[in-house]
Structure 1
C-alpha cells in the first residue's frame, strides 16, 4: 500500500521528541511537510527527513494536501488547526489538551465527522507499559470494586522541556489557556477515566499559581473527584516538583491495592488482602528526561492503515478536558462542580 503522507504542524519539543522520530521510524509513513512560524525549525526537519518547510499551515494544507497531520502547537491553536486540517481531508492527531473550551471540542469532533476523517488526541498515558499492565489487572476484576484512588503528575515545569525555555508559550495564558492542568492534569483525568472505566461525576479543586513568577497560568492544582461508581479520589498536577517528577497512581480496591510507578524497579505492584504481593517489571514510563516510544503515533497510523476509529477519540479527549475545566470552575466559584 502507498505510504501515509504526514505533515507535522508545530516543531517544538513534543514534535522533536515524540511525533517526528516516531513517524520517521514507522514504515507506513512518509513525512511530507513541517510547519512552524520560526521557519528555521521547520527547515531543520525537512532537511533531516525530506518534505517541505512552511511558516503557514494554511499554505501547507492547500499545497501539500497531506493524508494526516499532527497538531503540536500552543493550545489556543489546536481547534482552529484541527478543524482546518479535517476540512482539507486530513486525519488529525492533536496534542492535549485538545482545546480550551467544550465548544471548541464539539466543533473539532463535528469537523472530523463531516469530512469522514479520524480525530485522535495525544493522551499517551493510556499507552505506557505500566498503565497497560494496570488496566489489564483492573479489568480482570480480581481486585474487586474500586473504592478510592490518588493520581499525580508533576515535574519541575516546562522551562526545562520547551524549546523556548522560560520564554515558552506554556507560560503565556492567552496561548496556553491553562498551565499544569492542561499540560499534566488532563493526562491524569484521561488516565483515571480509562483505568477505572468510569466517568467523573463531581469535581472540587484548588487551582493556582503558587510558585512560578511572572506567569498567570496555574502551576499547581489539587482536585477531589467523585466517580459515577461512587469511588472518590484525588488528582494532582504540578510544575513545582523541583526534585524530580512523579507520575504515580495508587488505587485501593476491595481485595487489595494496585500501585503504579511508585517503585524504581517494579512499575506495577499488587498487594492483596490475603498477603500476596505481585511485582511486575513491564518497562518504564516515558519522562521528559528519558524519552521512550509513546505508542501514540503508531496507534494513530495503525487506525488509518486499518481503517478503524481511534480509541483515544475526540469524544474521549473532550470528556477528559471537561474534568479539568470543571476544576477551574470549582476554583473560581468555591463550589463542587457536577458534570
Structure 2
C-alpha cells in the first residue's frame, strides 16, 4: 500500500492526467478507491488502478480508509465534494476552479479551516521550471520593483455541441472560457504579481464557438495592492501569434519573458541571460508536490487561500464586463 491512500472523485476527463502523477509517485501516494456517478467509469477506473469502485463519493468516504481525496469533477460540483471531504477529515487536491461563487468560497474556507485539513489547488502550470525560475528571479529582486505582468493561454479548441458537454452551460461551468482555461493564466498572474488583487475588469467575446452560453475569449486587466498591473489574454477561438509570450514581467531594472520552455531576462544595465528546459509533465510534478506536502506537513504552493483569490479576480472580471466598470475583488 502507498504511504498516502487517495480516493479519486471523478474518473473521467482530467483524471487521466492526475493518474500519470500517481503512477510516477507510487512509492509515496496512490489511488485506492475511485468514485464516479457513471458506474461503468467507476468500474473501468477501478480495474485500471486496482482500486475499489463506487458510484457515490459519500459512500466511499464512509467505507474506505483514506488519507486524501483528489477531486476531478465538473466545476459546479467542486464545493460540495470539498466540504464533504473536509468534514470526513481527508486532505484534498482539487482541480480548478476551486469553486464558482463567493458564497461557495466561504463554505470551502470554513470547511477546510474548521476540520484542519490541507487543501491544495491543482494549479499545474506553476510547476513549469520557467515559472519557478521566474519566481526565483523576482524574489531575488533581479528586475527590481515589478510594474506589469502579462500572461497568455490561448489555443484553437475544436469543441462542438456534441462534445462540449457541461462546459457549454454557464450554470455548470461558472461562465465560459475565462473561468476554465482562463483560470490558468489567472493563477499564474497571481503567483508572479506578488500582491493581493484589488480590482479587475474584462472584455469578453464569442468569436467562434457560438453555441456556448459563455464567452470563448477574454482580455482581463487586474490591479494588485502592491501597484502591479496585470494583463491577461485567453481564448478557445484562436491560436495566438507565434511571438506571443506565455508570460512576461516588466520591472524598474529590466524585464523577463518566457514561452513556457525557456526564460530570458534582460536588464537596462545590459546584463542578460537565457535558460532552457526540456518539457515536463506538470501533472506529475503536481501530484509529487501534494505528496511531499502531506508527508512533510508543509504548506502546498497554492491552498484554498490562493484558490479563492483567483476566483475573486475572475468574479470581478466578469462583473466588470457585465457593468462596463472596474469592479472590486471581493475578499472572502
TM-score if structure 2 supplies the norm length?
0.91
- Counterpart residue number, 1:276: 271
Name the residue aligned to 2:133. 133
Q: CA deviation at 1:158?
A: 7.1
**2:226 aligned counterpart, secondary structure:** coil
1:179 to 176, 179, 204: 176
Cα offsets for 1:129-164 (capped at 9, x unmatched): 11001111111102111122321111223739xxx9
Report deviation, 1:304.
Answer: 1.2
Alpha-carbon distance between aligned partners in 2 of 1:309 and 1:138, rounded to the nearest angstrom: 21
Choose which of 193, 197, 201 in structure 1 pairs with 2:198.
201
- Structure 1 residue 260: deviation in Å? 1.3
Counterpart contact for 1:79–1:99, Cα < 8 Å: yes
Report the Cα distance in structure 2 between the residues aligned to 1:183 and 1:3, rounded to whole angstroms: 32
Tell me what 2:189 maps to. Answer: 192
Residue of structure 1 equivalent to 2:22: 23
Q: Secondary structure at the match of 2:227?
A: coil
Q: Structure 1 segments of 4 or more deviating over 6 A?
A: 243-247
**CA drift at 1:65:** 4.1
CA displacement 1:92-139 (0-9 Å, x = unmatched): 111111000122112112112222211111112222111001111111
1:39 aligns with 2:34: no
Pair 1:335-2:325 in alignment: yes
- Residue 212 of structure 1 and its aligned partner are, at CA, apart by 0.5
Counterpart Cα distance in 2 of 1:294 and 1:269: 25
State how 1:81-100 maps to structure 2 within 5 Å.
81-100=81-100
Counterpart CA distance in 2 for 1:292 and 1:83 is 26
Superposition RMSD on alpha carbons, in Å?
2.3
**1:227 corresponds to 2:224:** yes
In the alignment, the residues of structure 1 paired with residue 82 and residue 245 of structure 2 have an alpha-carbon distance, to the nearest angstrom, of 28
State the SS of the aligned residue for 1:214. coil
Q: Secondary structure of 2:232's match?
A: strand
* 2:58 counterpart residue number: 58
2:259 corresponds to which residue? 261
SS of corresponding position for 1:207: strand
Quick check: 2:200–2:220 contact (8 Å CA) kept in 1?
yes
Structure 1 residues 294 and 168 mapped into 2: Cα distance closer, same or farther (>3 Å)? farther
The alpha-carbon distance between structure 1 residues 228 and 283, as it changes in their structure 2 partners (threshold 3 A), is farther
What is the distance in 2 between the residues matched to 1:44 and 1:222? 40
Give the C-alpha shift of residue 201 in structure 1: 2.0
Q: In the alignment, which residue of structure 2 is the partner of 1:299?
A: 289
Identify which range, 132-141 or 21-30, moves more after superposition.
Answer: 21-30
1:252 paired with 2:242, answer no
User: Please, which of 299, 307, 311 is the counterpart of residue 301 of structure 2?
Assistant: 311
Give the superposition deviation at 1:45: 2.1
- Segments of 5+ residues of structure 1 without an aligned counterpart are none
Aligned length: 327
**What are the residue-to-residue correspondences of 1:106-185 with 2, within 5 Å?**
106-157=106-157, 159=159, 166-185=163-182
- Alpha-carbon distance in 2 for matches of 1:293, 1:230: 32
Residues 322 and 247 of structure 1, relative CA distance in 2, 3 Å threshold = farther
C-alpha distance in 2 between matches for 1:147 and 1:111: 36
Question: For the residues of structure 2 that align with 1:211 and 1:69, how far apart are their CA atoms?
Answer: 37
Residues 158, 165 of structure 1: 8 Å contact kept: no
